[in-house]
């Protein structure tokens, strides 16, 4: 062990001096933010896009409160939306409000469905375009 | 069971630009940019001395710093998720 | 001239271009995902400054695509390292990882890997533990369909990198009539320095041909065919290549798709082929050629009926008739 | 395609094709006086085509396609063909631009130095840029700013300004009617009217400028300005860029260079006059 320490002491010049406090933080904290591709605000503001809820891959499914897809008739689940959401409506849902024509009790389920959209699924690029930095 | 040992990329693999208190870090092998806060740069620097497990790394860090908190393994896993360190 | 034809000419013999319709060429190359490959083929030619700038940016973009593809492979390696599951890279990522000529400017979308069938669920679990997520609803018809009939898992997408991985256990759907020998593909794979592997040269051609001719509707086929051209030109330097290819194609029950792919590569890209493996030109080669070239100077797809015929053919190839009916019925009922 | 038009906007050339005549006519009139790309070679192709074959005639709806396609892009009615063409050009830039680091930002120039205004949509950057463009600044663009990664200079991209809702009447009080495009009602973003930049902005579109100040405007609060940390500026700009990640090391170098060299501030404003005052004050301070 001591050999390693000597070697490290020689390289110590690249390190800050002793006694500086280094906080390792809590387990749940986060010290790394990875820059992700942002189709950004841009597409949101320049495009007219739509999010079907649910997408064609799950047509007929109902949406549970957590946004997952469940069979029709599941208690507490929201029915499919008759027409796709427009960008502005999706944005309202994500902000926690209810756009016209949507049952207030169902809006949380739809918002969570949108949050769970992933790359490749219908509506994803639209959702991505609604991600706004604050 | 032996503790997990971690390896960091060589210094040349990473370009760092300081942005008041935080660091923007361009990781050449992945082409990905990360913004990192302390203690991530310090952990990466200490790990560049050679592969180490959490206990060994803590010894290295203590030589230079007063350590607060005990979430070193969580920090290492976070760096591994980002691809900045890997398991040996 | 149809712009797809112009694109093929530019790739095959760039020095023969005479003041072409550059906008049409660029549009076709982008639509066929060949803009990176084209950018390298047109290097050092005398071209208008704006086009030169577009192609230079396409080269830089290709370099970044390569970095990303190799990184996804590396992250997959790290995720599976402790399982000791042998991992064979497929398609574009494999070309890049092995440093083949086919990788020059090659675009890569998803990461495709091949693992032994009896370990595919273990691979999926390890990937999910490392941050990949299932894309489709895990209880839907699609998932069941994938698991029962396809040659791959339902795609996984990485939660923070947004990149997809397709984990295959063979190279054609289980319902397709040819049954390639997946064990042999893995057994003969060539290990790279990283510990990841790529298919042997002959198997790489067999896979490219199977993918182009026996598994799809030929959409985007010009790029797959360009892969085959580049691979064949490089591999044929080895005198053992052609006999090995003939043997492997037969072994995997894919002699006809391999022969067809070679003939099409010859027709379009003047690929030097061994007649004994490629066979004699057939009348239907022209239909395939017409399908591959069905794109105009605006990048639009043309020849709707022909494209539809190949679309139906692709489903016909993949499924026995009764299953096809069931598949379409379930889809229609939603 | 039956109808088409090629158009140079700053360093980028577009080829727009359409199944109908009207969108091309509208585009030609809005962009009269813009240069035609030399030799006809274009960076991007935009196609306005019927969703399905019969939709060319029956309730015609315009699908926005081109070199790069967004699968979720919804079609627009033919009456909004001009908007479709504009969206098509934006889409190609957002998905396909690789020659410049693309920032979703408005920019204006004075004395060879550029002011960059960025922020979420609705922050009023288009309106501010349009107003500054009438008050002694050269408009470089209201939607996209292009950073030359080799030189660090900003390139102009002076498209017609896309004015929305309330901003339309603000500018109608300011500018002669002949510089406006048609009023397009009931679009997905409300009412839209395009405004041609001043002749000088069009004539000087090939002149780059050195970035000198970055502002993040926000409408609706009492007038205030605050400094923004470099890490936050960097983060915000990566999120305002459609191609930052795809550009790899070149993008990293260009963006860290920009953030390190150029001062920045977030500004709140209750009305446009307050915003213009703030801008002029901060601009003087940055000089």
- Tens-place pLDDT, residues D230-256: 998 998 899 888 899 999 999 999 999
Q: Which of A105-109, C252-256, C320-324, D259-263 has the lowest mean pLDDT?
A: C320-324
Residue A35 reports pLDDT greater than 90: no
Given an 8 Å threshold on Cβ–Cβ distance, is B64 in contact with A20? Answer: yes
Q: Do β-strands A85-86 and A50-51 pair in parallel, antiparallel, or remain unpaired? A: antiparallel
Q: What is the Cα–Cα distance from C51 to C18, expressed in whole angstroms?
A: 14
pLDDT for C163: 85
Q: What is the Cα–Cα distance from C206 to A66, expressed in whole angstroms?
A: 45
Q: Which of A82-96, B1-15, D25-39, D120-134 has the lowest mean pLDDT?
A: A82-96
Return the percent helix, strand and coil in chain D, to nearest 5: 35, 35, 30
Give the tens place of pLDDT for each residue, D145-165: 999 999 999 999 999 999 988
Kindly report the nearest CA distance between residue A49 and chain B, in angstroms.
28
Give the number of C-alpha atoms closer than 13 A to the C-alpha of residue B60, restricted to the C-beta side: 25
The reply to whether D56 touches chain C by the CB within 8 Å rule is no
Chain C positions in Cβ-Cβ contact with residue A37 (cut-off 8 Å): 162
pLDDT for A11: 44
Q: Is the dihedral of CA A62, D71, D159, C59 positive or negative?
A: positive
The arithmetic mean of pLDDT across residues D67-81, rounded, is 84
Chain C positions in Cβ-Cβ contact with residue A60 (cut-off 8 Å): 334
Asked if residues C289 and C280 have their Cβ atoms less than 8 Å apart, the reply is: no
Residue D273 reports pLDDT greater than 60: yes
Residue A121 reports pLDDT greater than 60: no
Of residues C135 and D119, which shows the higher confidence score?
Answer: D119
List Cβ neighbours of C240 (8 Å cut-off, separation of 6 or more): none
Chain B positions in Cβ-Cβ contact with residue C160 (cut-off 8 Å): 81-82
List Cβ neighbours of A11 (8 Å cut-off, separation of 6 or more): B49
The reply to whether B19 touches chain D by the CB within 8 Å rule is yes
Chain D residues contacting B via beta carbons under 8 Å: 229-231, 234-235, 238, 244-245, 248-249, 252, 256, 259-260
Nearest to A40 among D73, D189, D240 (CB): D240
Q: In chain C, pLDDT over 90 holds for what percent of residues?
A: 71
Nearest to A118 among C135, C142, C334 (CB): C135
pLDDT for C142: 60
Q: Which of A6-20, B31-45, C227-241, D179-193 has the lowest mean pLDDT?
A: A6-20
Beta bridge partners of D218: D268
pLDDT for D187: 83
Instruction: Residue window 15-34, chain D: list those with CB within 8 Å of chain C.
Output: 15, 17
pLDDT for C308: 79
Q: What is the Cα–Cα distance from D50 to D19, expressed in whole angstroms?
A: 7
Which whole-number Å values give the CA distances from D229 to D259, D260, D264, in the listed order? 10, 11, 8
DSSP summary character for residue D73: B
Longest dimension (CA), chain C: 56
Chain A positions in Cβ-Cβ contact with residue C334 (cut-off 8 Å): 56, 59-60
What pLDDT band is residue C253 in, cutting at 50, 70 and 90?
very high
Give the tens place of pLDDT for each residue, C123-162: 999 999 998 987 654 445 566 666 666 677 888 888 788 7
The arithmetic mean of pLDDT across residues A37-43, rounded, is 53
Identify the residue among A35, A36, A38, A42 best suited for mutation to test binding to D, counting D beta carbons within 10 A and taking the highest.
Answer: A42
What pLDDT band is residue D85 in, cutting at 50, 70 and 90?
very high
Nearest to A40 among D188, D235, D239 (CB): D239
Q: What is the Cα–Cα distance from B42 to B75, expressed in whole angstroms?
A: 11
Query: What subunits touch chain A, counting only 3 or more CB pairs under 8 A?
Result: B, C, D
Q: Which of B66-75, C103-112, D16-25, D122-131 has the lowest mean pLDDT?
A: D122-131
Give the tens place of pLDDT for each residue, C29-78: 999 999 999 999 999 899 999 999 999 999 999 999 999 999 999 999 99
Of residues D212 and C302, which shows the higher confidence score?
Answer: D212
pLDDT for A128: 52
Chain B positions in Cβ-Cβ contact with residue A23 (cut-off 8 Å): 38-39, 68-69
pLDDT for B77: 92
Beta bridge partners of D182: none
Identify the residue among D41, D52, D71 best suited for mutation to test binding to C, counting C beta carbons within 10 A and taking the highest.
Answer: D41
Q: What is the ipTM of this complex?
A: 0.85
Q: Hey, how many other C-beta atoms are within 10 angstroms of the C-beta on C29?
A: 30
The reply to whether D155 touches chain C by the CB within 8 Å rule is no
Chain B positions in Cβ-Cβ contact with residue A12 (cut-off 8 Å): 63-64
What pLDDT band is residue A123 in, cutting at 50, 70 and 90?
low
What pLDDT band is residue C100 in, cutting at 50, 70 and 90?
very high
Q: Which of A79-83, A86-90, C120-124, C270-274 has the lowest mean pLDDT?
A: A86-90
Q: Hey, how many other C-beta atoms are within 10 angstroms of the C-beta on C295?
A: 23
The arithmetic mean of pLDDT across residues C5-14, rounded, is 97
Nearest to B33 among D252, D259, D260 (CB): D252
What pLDDT band is residue A108 in, cutting at 50, 70 and 90?
confident
To the nearest 10°, the Cα dihedral for C174, C178, C184, C186?
A: -50
pLDDT for C306: 82
Report the b/e string of C167-190 with b at 16+ CB within 10 A: bbbbbbbebbebebbbeebbebbe
pLDDT for C248: 98
Chain A positions in Cβ-Cβ contact with residue B78 (cut-off 8 Å): 30-32
At C301 the three-state DSSP class reads: strand
What does A8-23 look like in DSSP terms, one character per residue?
Answer: HHHGGGGSPPTTEEEE
In 3D space, the residue among C43, C9, C44, C12 whose CA is nearest the CA of residue C24 turns out to be C9
Q: In chain C, pLDDT over 70 holds for what percent of residues?
A: 90
The reply to whether B35 touches chain D by the CB within 8 Å rule is yes
Kindly report the nearest CA distance between residue B88 and chain C, in angstroms.
10
Kindly report the nearest CA distance between residue D245 and chain A, in angstroms.
5
The reply to whether B30 touches chain C by the CB within 8 Å rule is yes
- pTM for this structure? 0.85
Chain D positions in Cβ-Cβ contact with residue C51 (cut-off 8 Å): 41
The reply to whether D246 touches chain C by the CB within 8 Å rule is yes
Asked if residues D208 and D259 have their Cβ atoms less than 8 Å apart, the reply is: no
pLDDT for A44: 46
Residue A42 reports pLDDT greater than 70: no
Residue A125 reports pLDDT greater than 60: no
Kindly report the nearest CA distance between residue A69 and chain C, in angstroms.
7
Of residues C147 and D16, which shows the higher confidence score?
Answer: D16
What does A74-89 look like in DSSP terms, one character per residue?
Answer: -TTPBPPPSSPEEHHH
The arithmetic mean of pLDDT across residues C259-264, rounded, is 97
pLDDT for C329: 62
Q: In chain A, pLDDT over 70 holds for what percent of residues?
A: 60
List Cβ neighbours of D264 (8 Å cut-off, separation of 6 or more): D213, D214, D215, D216, D227, D228, D233
Chain C positions in Cβ-Cβ contact with residue A119 (cut-off 8 Å): 135, 157, 162-164
């Amino acid at each position: 062990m001591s050999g390693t320490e000597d070697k490290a002491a020689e390289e110590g010049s690249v390190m800050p001096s002793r006694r500086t406090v280094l906080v390792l933080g809590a387990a749940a904290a986060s010290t790394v933010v990875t820059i992700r591709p942002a189709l950004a605000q841009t597409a949101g503001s320049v495009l007219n896009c739509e999010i079907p809820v649910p997408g064609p891959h799950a047509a007929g499914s109902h949406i549970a409160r957590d946004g997952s897809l469940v069979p029709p008739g599941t208690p507490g689940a929201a029915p499919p939306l008759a027409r796709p959401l427009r960008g502005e409506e999706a944005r309202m849902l994500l902000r926690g409000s209810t756009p016209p024509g949507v049952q207030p009790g169902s809006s949380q389920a739809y918002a969570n469905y949108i949050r769970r959209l992933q790359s490749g699924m219908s509506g994803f690029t639209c959702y991505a375009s609604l991600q706004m930095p604050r | 069971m032996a503790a997990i040992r971690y390896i960091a990329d060589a210094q040349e693999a990473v370009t760092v630009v300081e942005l008041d208190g935080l660091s923007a870090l361009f990781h050449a092998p992945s082409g990905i940019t990360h913004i990192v806060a302390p203690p991530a740069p310090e952990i990466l620097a200490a790990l560049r001395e050679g592969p180490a497990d959490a206990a060994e790394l803590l010894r290295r860090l203590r030589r230079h710093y007063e350590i607060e908190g005990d979430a070193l393994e969580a920090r290492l896993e976070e760096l591994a998720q980002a691809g900045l360190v890997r398991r040996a | 001239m149809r712009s797809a034809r112009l694109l093929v000419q530019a790739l095959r013999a760039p020095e023969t271009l005479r003041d072409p319709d550059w906008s049409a060429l660029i549009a076709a190359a982008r639509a066929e995902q060949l803009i990176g490959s084209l950018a390298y083929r047109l290097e050092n030619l005398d071209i208008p400054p704006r086009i030169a700038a577009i192609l230079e940016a396409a080269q830089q973009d290709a370099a970044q695509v390569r970095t990303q593809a190799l990184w996804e492979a590396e992250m997959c390696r790290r995720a599976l390292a402790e399982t000791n599951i042998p991992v064979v890279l497929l398609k574009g990522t494999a070309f890049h990882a092995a440093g083949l000529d086919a990788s020059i400017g090659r675009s890569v979308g998803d990461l495709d890997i091949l693992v032994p069938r009896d370990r595919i669920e273990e691979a999926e679990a390890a990937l999910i533990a490392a941050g990949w997520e299932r894309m489709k609803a895990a209880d839907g018809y699609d998932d069941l369909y994938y698991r029962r009939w396809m040659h791959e898992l339902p795609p996984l997408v990485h939660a923070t990198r947004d990149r997809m991985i397709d984990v295959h256990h063979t190279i054609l759907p289980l319902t397709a009539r040819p049954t390639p020998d997946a064990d042999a593909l893995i057994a003969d794979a060539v290990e790279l320095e990283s510990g990841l592997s790529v298919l042997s040269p002959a198997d790489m051609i067999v896979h490219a041909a199977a993918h182009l001719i026996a598994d799809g509707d030929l959409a985007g086929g010009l790029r797959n065919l360009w892969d085959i051209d580049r691979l064949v030109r490089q591999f044929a330097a080895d005198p053992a290549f052609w006999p090995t290819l003939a043997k492997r194609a037969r072994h995997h029950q894919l002699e006809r798709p391999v022969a067809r792919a070679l003939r099409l590569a010859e027709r379009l890209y003047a690929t030097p082929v061994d007649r004994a493996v490629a066979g004699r030109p057939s009348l239907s080669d022209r239909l395939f050629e017409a399908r591959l070239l069905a794109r105009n100077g605006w990048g639009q797809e043309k020849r709707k009926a022909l494209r539809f015929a190949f679309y139906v053919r692709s489903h016909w190839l993949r499924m026995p008739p009764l299953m096809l009916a069931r598949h379409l019925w379930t889809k229609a009922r939603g | 395609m039956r109808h088409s038009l090629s158009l140079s906007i700053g360093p980028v050339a577009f080829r727009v094709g359409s199944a109908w005549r009207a969108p091309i006519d509208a585009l030609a009139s809005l962009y009269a006086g813009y240069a035609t790309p030399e030799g006809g070679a274009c960076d991007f192709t935009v196609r306005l085509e019927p969703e399905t074959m019969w939709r060319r005639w029956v309730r015609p709806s315009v699908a926005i396609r081109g070199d790069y396609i967004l699968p979720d892009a919804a079609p627009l009615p033919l009456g909004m063909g001009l908007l479709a063409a504009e969206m098509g050009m934006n889409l190609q830039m957002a998905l396909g631009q690789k020659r410049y680091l693309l920032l979703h930002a408005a920019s204006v120039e004075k004395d060879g130095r550029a002011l960059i205004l960025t922020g979420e949509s609705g922050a009023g950057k288009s309106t501010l840029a349009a107003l500054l463009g009438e008050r002694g600044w050269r408009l470089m663009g209201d939607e996209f700013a292009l950073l030359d990664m080799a030189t660090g200079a900003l390139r102009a991209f002076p498209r017609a300004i896309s004015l929305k809702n309330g901003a339309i009447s603000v500018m109608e009080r300011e500018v002669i009617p002949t510089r406006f495009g048609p009023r397009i009602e009931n679009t997905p973003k409300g009412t839209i009217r395009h405004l041609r930049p001043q002749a000088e902005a069009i004539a000087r579109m090939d002149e780059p400028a050195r970035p000198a100040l970055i502002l993040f405007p926000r409408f609706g609060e009492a007038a205030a300005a605050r400094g923004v940390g470099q890490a936050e500026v960097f983060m915000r700009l990566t999120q305002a860029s459609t191609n930052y990640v795809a550009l790899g090391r070149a993008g990293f170098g260009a963006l860290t260079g920009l953030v390190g060299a150029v001062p920045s501030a977030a500004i709140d404003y209750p009305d446009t006059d307050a915003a213009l005052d703030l801008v002029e004050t901060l601009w003087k301070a940055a000089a």
